[in-house]
Chain A
């Protein structure tokens, strides 16, 4: 059971470069989210999606884009990387909670990103 899969695990970028962090889930979850984790700040929501074709901003969306063309995939794009985006990024998915399913979030293993 793969759960939530994130790639890559580690990435180093130069300021101004772009890249895409991949996230895929095989649990048929409707909801998917991207968080960044910084020391002393917990997890902060970047973007989220409640279903294919539907995305919305979280609390720290600037500098990031997302799309949700399929239920399984929710990539996060950094358009022009900045040192302030050095962080650990986690993708999470959860069901909508209908039909007896609980809406617990399941997290991927994370992507550690450094922007020089």
Chain B
């Protein structure tokens, strides 16, 4: 069964600091990878996705993620965080093709201090 590990449960950064959130998955086949963001009191929104092609994926609000197949990783990065990035971030993976169950990581809460 596929699984997703997010290494950091709670991250606190000052504004303008750089961010990297770790995500590792376990599955041997072809996968689709996602990062979702959940702002306080809101629903999940897609931040970025990887299906195929360039392993460096750029998403909304200056976020990017790099798919490293050999490491089964899909880490999320942002060079300079803002207070408005305070949210919970979820990495997710699904087998490509058809309906395949999306497996979510347990989430990382990011708190950005002004």
Q: Which residues of A contact B (CB under 8 A)?
A: 30-31, 33, 35, 40-45, 48, 50, 58-59, 90, 96-97, 102-110
Q: How far is the CA of A40 from the CA of B90 in the complex (A)?
A: 11
Q: Is the CB of A50 within 8 A of B43?
A: no
B107:A31 contact, CB within 8 angstroms: no
Q: A90-B44, A108-B43, A109-B43 are in contact. Are A42 and B90 (CB under 8 A)?
A: yes
* Given known A-B contacts A41-B106, A42-B90, A43-B90, A107 and B44 have beta carbons under 8 A apart: yes
In the assembled complex, the Cα of A45 lies from the Cα of B107 at a distance in Å of 15
Beyond contacts A40-B9, A45-B101, A104-B49: 17 other A-B pairs, Cβ-Cβ < 8 A, are A40-B107, A41-B106, A42-B106, A42-B107, A43-B90, A44-B104, A45-B102, A48-B99, A48-B101, A58-B101, A59-B101, A90-B43, A96-B98, A102-B49, A104-B34, A106-B46, A109-B43
Q: A40-B106, A42-B105, A96-B99 are in contact. Are A102 and B43 (CB under 8 A)?
A: no
B83 at the interface (CB under 8 A from A): no
Q: What is the distance, in angstroms, from B32's C-beta to the closest C-beta of chain A? A: 8
Residue of A nearest to B44 (CB): A107
Residues of chain A within 8 A (CB-CB) of B51 are 102
Instruction: Check: B18 CB closer than 8 A to any chain A CB.
Output: no
CA distance A40 to B104 in the complex (A): 11
Q: How far is the CB of B62 from chain A (nearest CB, A)?
A: 20
Q: Say if the beta carbon of B14 comes within 8 Å of chain A.
A: no
Is B70 located at the chain interface by the 8 A CB criterion?
no
